[in-house]
């Protein structure tokens, strides 16, 4: 038997034992959406996370990282909850440009056309290299434009315990910290609108102490770069990195402790940052636990003493839950039989998708209530890096549906 991850708190069932999402039972949701596989996103859970952030970080702006989940109705709802959007492509920019919030654009390998589009749209470009800066400045000189440019910094430190380290290493992301001040001076001297610094060192952290240390070091690094450059940054994006529990023994992040410590760091920040505005960029933490992937069992079989529940979904929609999206050792996400959410586990079963590959596992040797053909399987923590981070065209299977409730 292999343990399942923890189901996020607050999910309940109705009198018939069916999982409720946003107050609606799963069978009704599936019928309304037109079938499975289906992603359901709970708007009130997202709003609760945003309110929790506001309470913990009253003096810090909240940005949403669109890459976590770019579903259009979710973005519309998010525009009422956050102070800005962070995008990683002009495709993402097109999804939120009409929503009227400040936008920043990060990511390596921006094409000249993307740079020009961002400059003309008046959004902040987080520069990933000196070469990218020169290309942006050349576009401005050619067309008589003024770019809003920020410097993304590759810091000399990483985020301890993070799922993906993005600092303290050679990287395609950002300018090494010891070259950042020179680039700031170049931007300012060229007449661009320097918008500040973006310092992102890692993601999916559950240890408050690690985030507290990271944010303290980030504030200090921002001050050091500003002093060396001789210019105070209007804005510093502290990155994000807030994680959610996916696997057995994961504990939720103590966001309030992180907020209390950051407030102290900002109160004591160097004078050169006195007028700087600070932001935290979050995606997974805001939307991850608000999403549930529903897929229906189409076959039940036994093979060499092992029970298999074969569903109409799979890794083509939920690559992360299959263990093929950055996991070194495959572990089970939180999984339940959604129409028997109140039932006790009674058998060990492996839940698979319908693809012709042994990689297509949704739960491996997990203890679950007995399930039959027609039952619904729920994969939790599916609100971030789910459908948009999966190979939807693999084997030309039907695309998953999405709804926001």
DSSP for 259-326 reads HHHHHHHHHT--GGGTT-EEEEEESHHHHGGGEEEEEEEEEEEEETTEEEEEES--TTT-TTTTT-SS
Q: What is the model's pLDDT at position 195?
A: 98
Do 200 and 344 have their domain in common? no
Do 239 and 378 have their domain in common? no
Do 273 and 336 have their domain in common? no
Find the mean pLDDT for residues 109-132: 97
- Determine, yes or no, domain membership for 63: no
CATH classification at residue 259: 3.20.20.10
Domain final residue pick, 257, 282, 307: 282
- In the predicted model, is pLDDT for residue 382 greater than 60? yes
Structural domain range at position 176: 102-282
- In the predicted model, is pLDDT for residue 158 greater than 80? no
Do 261 and 327 have their domain in common? no
- Determine, yes or no, domain membership for 136: yes
Do 127 and 275 have their domain in common? yes
Domain final residue pick, 264, 282, 300: 282
Do 245 and 302 have their domain in common? no
**pLDDT tens across 13-45, in order?**
999 999 999 999 999 999 999 999 999 999 999
Closest C-alpha among 318, 319, 323 to residue 295: 318
- Determine, yes or no, domain membership for 51: no
The overall average pLDDT reported for the chain is 95
Alpha carbons within 13 angstroms on the beta-carbon side of residue 286 total 28
- In the predicted model, is pLDDT for residue 101 greater than 90? yes
Q: Whole-model pTM above 0.85?
A: yes
Do 232 and 300 have their domain in common? no
Task: Tell me how many domains the chain contains.
Answer: 2
Domain final residue pick, 282, 308, 335: 282
**pLDDT tens across 240-268, in order?**
999 999 999 999 999 999 999 999 999 99
Do 270 and 295 have their domain in common? no
* pLDDT band of 139, cuts 50, 70, 90: very high
**pLDDT tens across 276-317, in order?**
999 999 999 999 999 999 999 999 999 999 999 999 999 999
Cβ-contact 242, 253 below 8 angstroms: yes
Q: What is the model's pLDDT at position 249?
A: 94
Closest C-alpha among 93, 34, 60 to residue 279: 60
* pLDDT band of 200, cuts 50, 70, 90: confident
| CA 331/CA 216 separation, integer angstroms | 32
- In the predicted model, is pLDDT for residue 149 greater than 70? yes
Do 152 and 271 have their domain in common? yes
- Determine, yes or no, domain membership for 168: yes
Do 128 and 268 have their domain in common? yes
Find the mean pLDDT for residues 207-220: 95
- In the predicted model, is pLDDT for residue 167 greater than 60? no
- Determine, yes or no, domain membership for 306: yes
């Amino acid at each position: 038997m292999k343990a399942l991850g923890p189901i996020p708190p607050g999910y309940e069932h109705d009198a018939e034992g069916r999982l409720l999402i946003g107050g609606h039972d799963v069978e009704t949701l599936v019928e309304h959406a037109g079938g499975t596989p289906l992603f359901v996103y709970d708007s009130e859970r997202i709003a609760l996370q945003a309110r929790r952030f506001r309470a913990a970080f009253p003096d810090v702006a909240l940005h949403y990282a669109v890459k976590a989940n770019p579903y259009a109705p979710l973005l519309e709802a998010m525009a009422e909850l956050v102070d800005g959007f962070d995008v990683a492509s002009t495709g993402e920019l097109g999804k939120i440009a009409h929503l009227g919030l400040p936008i920043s654009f990060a990511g390596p390998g921006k094409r000249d056309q993307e740079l020009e589009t961002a400059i003309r749209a008046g959004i902040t470009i987080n520069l990933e290299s000196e070469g990218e800066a020169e290309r942006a400045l050349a576009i401005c000189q050619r067309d008589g434009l003024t770019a809003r440019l920020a410097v993304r910094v590759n810091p000399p430190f990483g985020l301890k315990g993070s799922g993906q380290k993005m600092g303290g290493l050679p990287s395609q992301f950002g300018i090494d910290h010891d070259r950042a001040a020179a680039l700031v001076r170049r931007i300012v001297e060229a007449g661009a609108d320097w918008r500040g610094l973006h310092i992102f060192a890692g993601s999916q952290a559950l240890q408050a102490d690690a985030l507290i240390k990271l944010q303290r070091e980030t504030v200090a690094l921002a001050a050091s770069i500003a002093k060396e450059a001789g210019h105070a940054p209007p804005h510093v994006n502290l990155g994000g990195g807030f994680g959610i529990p996916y696997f057995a023994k994961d504990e939720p992040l103590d966001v309030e402790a992180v907020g209390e410590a950051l407030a102290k760091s900002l109160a004591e920040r160097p004078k050169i940052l006195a007028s700087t505005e600070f932001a935290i960029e979050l995606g997974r933490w805001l939307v991850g636990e608000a999403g549930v992937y529903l897929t229906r069992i189409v076959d039940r079989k036994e093979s060499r003493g092992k029970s298999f529940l074969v569903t109409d979904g799979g890794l083509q929609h939920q690559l992360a839950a299959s263990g093929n999206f950055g996991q070194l050792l495959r572990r089970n996400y939180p999984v339940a039989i959604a129409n028997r959410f109140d039932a006790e586990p009674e058998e060990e079963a492996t839940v698979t998708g319908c693809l012709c590959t042994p990689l297509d596992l949704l739960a491996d040797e997990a203890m679950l209530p007995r399930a039959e053909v027609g039952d619904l399987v729920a994969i939790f923590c599916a609100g971030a890096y789910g459908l948009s981070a999966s190979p939807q065209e693999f084997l030309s299977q039907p695309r998953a549906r999405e709804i926001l409730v």
